[in-house]
Amino acid sequence: MEKMTSDFNLKSFLKQNQKCIDDALEEFIPQPVGAFAQIHEAMRYSIFAGGKRLRPILCLASYHIFQSEQDDLSSILPAASALEMVHTYSLIHDDLPSMDNDDFRRGKPTNHKVYGEAVAVLAGDALLTLAFEVVSKTEKIGSETVNQVLQELALRSGTLGLIGGQILDLDAEGKTLSGDQLKAIHLHKTAALIQASIRMGAIVGGADEAPLKSLTLFGEKVGLAFQIVDDILDVESSTETLGKTAGKDVNQEKSTYPSVYGLAESKKMAEALKNEAIEEIDLFGEKGEPLKSLALYVIERKN
Amino acid sequence: MEKMTSDFNLKSFLKQNQKCIDDALEEFIPQPVGAFAQIHEAMRYSIFAGGKRLRPILCLASYHIFQSEQDDLSSILPAASALEMVHTYSLIHDDLPSMDNDDFRRGKPTNHKVYGEAVAVLAGDALLTLAFEVVSKTEKIGSETVNQVLQELALRSGTLGLIGGQILDLDAEGKTLSGDQLKAIHLHKTAALIQASIRMGAIVGGADEAPLKSLTLFGEKVGLAFQIVDDILDVESSTETLGKTAGKDVNQEKSTYPSVYGLAESKKMAEALKNEAIEEIDLFGEKGEPLKSLALYVIERKN
């Protein structure tokens, strides 16, 4: 888990930022009381199910390249929290019986196993809606920037991003995919929201077009590597370590990087993407350190 | 169908504006070609399934109280179209087997009957996401106004609005409700988005707080009356006239206005709400005529 590069301490960076994000989510998601207690409880159940907060933390790390002020995060926490809401909504819907039909996620029963399918559908809808609401209320940054962030989130969560990836994934069931087809799925299903995370942080931070471009490429490469590692872990890890059913891809005869390229080649590809990703953000020097460490952490993780 | 008040011609107003909205939706929803043809086709299937465009047209009518310019609708069409997207997403998800389990909507097979449950879930998600994207890209109005419109849409579509209404509705299944409980469902499930429609139009039009307040009350009353009429039609109409299964409420032992108050009293209540609604917008005089005619049309409709 612990990775160190130069003086930057990733472990404490993660811990501190996870706390920030959890506090923000606690504030943004209504309490489970009153007439709507159940839906708010269902939203909270999946949001607080032990996620690593990777997307919000990537967002914060990207923001800090352009804004060194560490104390006041009020302008970036809405965007960071919205990313976790969108990620969580997509997991809730993805786990539904009509989709991947997963009973466990992060070692806990999935949302529909606890609250029933109808509430799970609505809890996902509600998190997606709340994500946009929270961003639209961001203070201290101009409303033009707020709109830019909203557009970014909507675009990369929509049919040309996350949802498009789900569709490609559904279409792929029971088929043997080419490497390009597999890449297209992961670019949409995984890389798009990671790119959104990094871009939204940079946009709130006030980044220009040129650094945004580098960060977008960085996000693409980290996103792809993340997914390749996911595929590798599905083969190599136990269900206990993963917190979700291991070997599921093989059992479902799903095309994965290991099934298309073999394990050794898949590992090489993840390694290459990692190096290319890091190269993309070399230009930020010391300020890019958190983002660099996060990339290493994500790609070298064991679960 | 045809209602006339003073010189205002509702029939031509509806026809003209339905065309505007259909054209805008045609433009805003991606074409069903390329890698994501299927999801875009599924979105279009439900959007172009013959809806009356009531919410977008209420939005336009409200806008025109404050903006008499009839030619250039480019600043209001994104909001108006977004409302139809949100309405349609909520119908797609509401029809799912795990929710209301409806096979027909507007006389056509429901989305999941045509595309399967997984795609229907995603088509709903995609319409919701696109609604926010489209609004966030509105041009010609300041970005502060855009944010206000987005907040309005998110708030009244979320757990304190539309989604909250769905939850209350689910909870009510198999229970005998009080009049107040029934009212709470319809305030959230139906009135909230109608209020959003009218408020968003007014906000884009540049309305102040005082007229917004009147319009909000108008929306509440029209929304409630709309639902009471819906309940009455379910009892009195044939499946053919409705385009959806008539008598469904009774068969499902659902509490409705007729079941709680009786048919005669329900009709009186709808009539009273209609008059109260119209009173709320008296202050707009001639400019409020389209909105007034729409209220009459909605409450006196036969399907």
The per-residue pLDDT for B7 is 64
Q: Which residue of chain A has the CA closest to B148?
A: A136
> Average per-residue pLDDT in chain B?
93
C-alpha radius of gyration, chain B, whole number = 18
Give A275's contacts (C-beta < 8 A, 6+ positions apart): none
pTM of the entire predicted model: 0.95
User: DSSP H helical segments within A137-256, as ranges?
Assistant: 143-157, 162-172, 179-186, 192-205, 209-236, 239-242, 248-251
* pLDDT tens digits along A191-245: 999 999 999 999 999 999 999 999 999 999 999 999 999 999 988 886 556 666 6
Confidence class of residue A120 from pLDDT cuts 50, 70 and 90? very high
The mean per-residue pLDDT over the stretch A159-188 comes to 95
Letter string b/e over residues B250-276, b meaning 16 or more CB atoms within 10 A of that residue's CB: eeeebbbbbbbbeeeebbebbeebbeb
What pLDDT sits at residue A63? 97
Where does the pLDDT of residue B1 fall: very low under 50, low under 70, confident under 90, or very high at 90 and above?
Answer: very low
Contact state of B36 with A144 under an 8 Å Cβ cutoff: no
- Structure confidence at residue B273 (pLDDT): 97
Kindly list the distances between the CA atom of residue A288 and the CA atoms of A64, A114, A215, in Å, as whole numbers in the listed order.
Answer: 8, 41, 10
Residue B275 makes CB contacts below 8 A (sequence gap 6+) with none
pLDDT at B45 over 90: yes
**Which chain A residues contact residue B94 at CB under 8 A?**
none
Amino acid, res. A120? A
Amino acid (one-letter) located at B128: L
Tens digits of per-residue pLDDT, A3-18? 444 568 999 999 999 9
A54-111: pLDDT as tens digits: 999 999 999 999 998 767 899 999 999 999 999 999 999 999 999 999 999 989 999 9
CB nearest A136 (choices: B39, B40, B151): B151
Is residue A157 pLDDT above 50, yes or no?
A: yes
Q: Is the pLDDT of residue B2 over 60?
A: no
Picking from A136, A148, A160, A182 by the largest number of B CB atoms within 10 A of its own CB, the best residue to mutate is A136
A158–B38: do the CB atoms touch at under 8 Å? no
Is residue B295 within 8 A of residue B222, CB to CB? The reply is: yes
Partner-chain contact A159 B99, CB within 8 Å: no
**A2 — pLDDT class (breaks 50, 70, 90):** very low
What ipTM was reported for this prediction?
A: 0.94
Mean pLDDT confidence for B164-174: 94
Long-range contacts of A176-181 (CB under 8 A, 24+ apart): A176/A255, A177/A255, A177/A260, A178/A260, A179/A260, A179/A261, A181/A255
Q: What percent of chain B has pLDDT over 70?
A: 92
The answer to whether residue B6 scores a pLDDT higher than 70 is no
Summarised one tens digit per residue, pLDDT across range B120-144 is: 999 999 999 999 999 999 999 999 9
The verdict on residue B3 lying in a domain is no
Span between the terminal Cα atoms of chain B, in Å:
10
How far is the C-alpha of A29 from the C-alpha of A252, rounded, in Å?
35
Number of domains in chain B: 1
R_g of chain A, CA atoms, integer Å: 18
Residues 6+ apart with CB under 8 A from B133: A150, A151, A154, A155, A158
Q: Which domain holds residue B206?
A: 9-299
Comparing CA positions, the residue from A118, A255, A205 lying closest to residue B99 is A118
Assess contact for B109 and A81: CB atoms under 8 A: no
| pLDDT for A19 | 96
Residues of chain A with pLDDT > 90, as a percent, come to 85
The stretch A146-155 carries a mean pLDDT of: 98
What is the per-residue pLDDT across B252-300, written as a single tens digit (0 to 9) for each? 678 999 999 999 999 999 999 999 999 999 999 999 999 999 999 999 9
CATH number at residue B179: 1.10.600.10
Using CA atoms, how far residue A222 sits from A165, A237, A261, A300, in Å, is: 16, 21, 19, 11
pLDDT at A240: 59
What is the mean pLDDT of the segment spanning B182-208?
97
The Cα–Cα gap between A54 and A295 comes to 10
What pLDDT sits at residue A303?
75
E runs forming strands in B44-193? 104-105, 108-109
CA angle A31, B162, B83 (to 5 degrees): 130
Q: B126 vs A184: CB contact, 8 Å cut-off? A: no
DSSP string computed for A31-53:
PS-GGGHHHHHHHHHHHTS----
Q: Which residues of A touch B158 (CB under 8 A)?
A: 126, 129-130, 133
Q: Which residue of A has its CA nearest to B152?
A: A133
What whole-number distance in Å separates Cα of residue A89 and Cα of residue A84? 8
pLDDT of residue A250: 65
Among A298, A134, A144, residue whose Cα is nearest residue A224: A298
